[in-house]
Chain A
Amino acid sequence: MSSHANAEPLLDVRGLHTVFHTRAGAVPVVDGVSLRLGRGRVLGLVGESGSGKSVTGFSLMGLVDPPGEVVAGQVLFNGQDLLQLPEAQRRALRGNRMAMVFQDPMATLNPVLRIATQMTEALHAHQRLGRAQALARCADALAALGIASPQQRLQAYPHQLSGGMRQRVAIAIALLNQPDLVIADEPTTALDVTIQAQILSEMQALVRERGTALIWISHDLSVVAGLADEIAVMYAGRIVEQGPVDEVLDHPQHPYTQGLIASLPSANRRGSRLRQIPGLAHSGPDRPTGCAFAPRCSRAGAACSHLPAATPPRPLVPLHQVSCHHPGPATTQPQPQAATA
Chain B
Amino acid sequence: MNPTARPPRPALPPEPPLWWQRAQDYARSRVALAALALLGLIAAAAVLAPWITPQNPYDLMQLDVMDARLPPGAASSDGAHTYWLGTDGQGRDLYSAIVYGLRISLAVGVGSAVVAAVVGTLVGLLAAYAGGRVDALLMRLVDLLLSLPTLLLALMILAWFGKGITNVILTLVLLEWAYCARTARGQALAEMQRDYVSAARGLGLSATRIALGHVLPNCLPPLMVIAALQVARAITLEATLSFLGLGVPVTEPSLGLLIANGYQYLLSQAYWISVFPGLALLLTLMAINLVGDQLRDVLNPRLQR
Q: Are A107 and B194 touching (Cβ within 8 A)?
A: yes
Residue picked from B15, B196, B217, B220, most chain A C-beta under 10 Å: B196
Q: Are B15 and A110 touching (Cβ within 8 A)?
A: no
Given the interface pairs A107-B196, A108-B195, A149-B11, the reply to whether A121 lies near B202 with Cβ below 8 Å is no
Contact flags (1/0) for B208-249 with A, using CB distance below 8 Å?
A: 010001100110100000000000000000000000000000
| CA A108 to CA B214, docked complex, whole Å | 12
Q: Are B218 and A112 touching (Cβ within 8 A)?
A: yes
**A103: min CB distance to chain B, Å:** 8
Q: Are B11 and A152 touching (Cβ within 8 A)?
A: yes
Q: Are A104 and B195 touching (Cβ within 8 A)?
A: yes
**A284: min CB distance to chain B, Å:** 23
Q: Are A94 and B214 touching (Cβ within 8 A)?
A: no
| CA A113 to CA B204, docked complex, whole Å | 17
Closest to B197 in A: A110
Which bracket fits the contact residues of A? 20 to 34
Kindly identify which residue among B11, B195, B201, B213 contacts A121, using a CB–CB cutoff of 8 Å. B213
| CA A95 to CA B204, docked complex, whole Å | 5
Q: Are A102 and B198 touching (Cβ within 8 A)?
A: yes
Q: Are B203 and A94 touching (Cβ within 8 A)?
A: yes
A contact residues around B195 at 8 Å (CB): 102, 104, 107-108
A contact residues around B220 at 8 Å (CB): 112
Whether B80 is near chain A, meaning CB under 8 Å from some CB there, is no
| CA A122 to CA B198, docked complex, whole Å | 13
Q: Are B203 and A95 touching (Cβ within 8 A)?
A: yes
Q: Are B214 and A110 touching (Cβ within 8 A)?
A: yes
**A137: min CB distance to chain B, Å:** 14
B contact residues around A93 at 8 Å (CB): 204
| CA A93 to CA B201, docked complex, whole Å | 11
**A73: min CB distance to chain B, Å:** 20
Whether A43 is near chain B, meaning CB under 8 Å from some CB there, is no
| CA A99 to CA B203, docked complex, whole Å | 7
Contact flags (1/0) for A90-122 with B, using CB distance below 8 Å?
A: 011111100110101001111111000000011
Given the interface pairs A110-B218, A113-B217, the reply to whether A63 lies near B202 with Cβ below 8 Å is yes
A contact residues around B217 at 8 Å (CB): 110, 112-113
Q: Are A94 and B11 touching (Cβ within 8 A)?
A: no
Kindly identify which residue among B203, B214, B218 contacts A122, using a CB–CB cutoff of 8 Å. B203
Whether B199 is near chain A, meaning CB under 8 Å from some CB there, is yes
| CA A170 to CA B195, docked complex, whole Å | 12
Closest to A98 in B: B202
Which bracket fits the contact residues of B? 20 to 34
Whether B250 is near chain A, meaning CB under 8 Å from some CB there, is no
**B134: min CB distance to chain A, Å:** 15
B contact residues around A100 at 8 Å (CB): 199, 202
Q: B interface, by DSSP: helix, strand, loop or mixed? A: helix
Kindly identify which residue among A110, A156, A160 contacts B200, using a CB–CB cutoff of 8 Å. A110
A contact residues around B15 at 8 Å (CB): 156, 160
Contact flags (1/0) for A142-178 with B, using CB distance below 8 Å?
A: 0000001100100111001000000000100110000
| CA A96 to CA B200, docked complex, whole Å | 12
Q: Are A157 and B201 touching (Cβ within 8 A)?
A: no
Closest to B217 in A: A112
Given the interface pairs A94-B203, A107-B196, A121-B203, the reply to whether A113 lies near B9 with Cβ below 8 Å is no
Whether A16 is near chain B, meaning CB under 8 Å from some CB there, is no
| CA A174 to CA B203, docked complex, whole Å | 8
Q: Are B204 and A108 touching (Cβ within 8 A)?
A: no
A residues 119-152 touching B (CB-CB < 8 Å) = 121-122, 125-126, 148-149, 152
Given the interface pairs A112-B217, A160-B15, the reply to whether A95 lies near B194 with Cβ below 8 Å is no
B contact residues around A29 at 8 Å (CB): none
Given the interface pairs A112-B217, A113-B214, A148-B9, the reply to whether A121 lies near B199 with Cβ below 8 Å is no
A contact residues around B214 at 8 Å (CB): 110, 113
Q: Are A109 and B196 touching (Cβ within 8 A)?
A: yes
**B223: min CB distance to chain A, Å:** 13
B contact residues around A102 at 8 Å (CB): 195, 198-199, 202
Closest to A112 in B: B217
Given the interface pairs A112-B218, A152-B11, A157-B18, the reply to whether A63 lies near B198 with Cβ below 8 Å is yes
Closest to B18 in A: A157
Closest to A90 in B: B204
Q: Are B204 and A111 touching (Cβ within 8 A)?
A: no
Q: Can you list 14 residue pairs at the A/B interface with Cβ under 8 Å?
A: A95-B202, A95-B204, A107-B195, A108-B196, A110-B200, A111-B196, A121-B203, A121-B209, A122-B204, A125-B203, A152-B11, A152-B14, A160-B15, A174-B202
Q: Which 8 A-B pairs have the closest CB atoms?
A: A95-B203, A95-B204, A107-B195, A94-B204, A108-B199, A100-B202, A110-B196, A112-B217
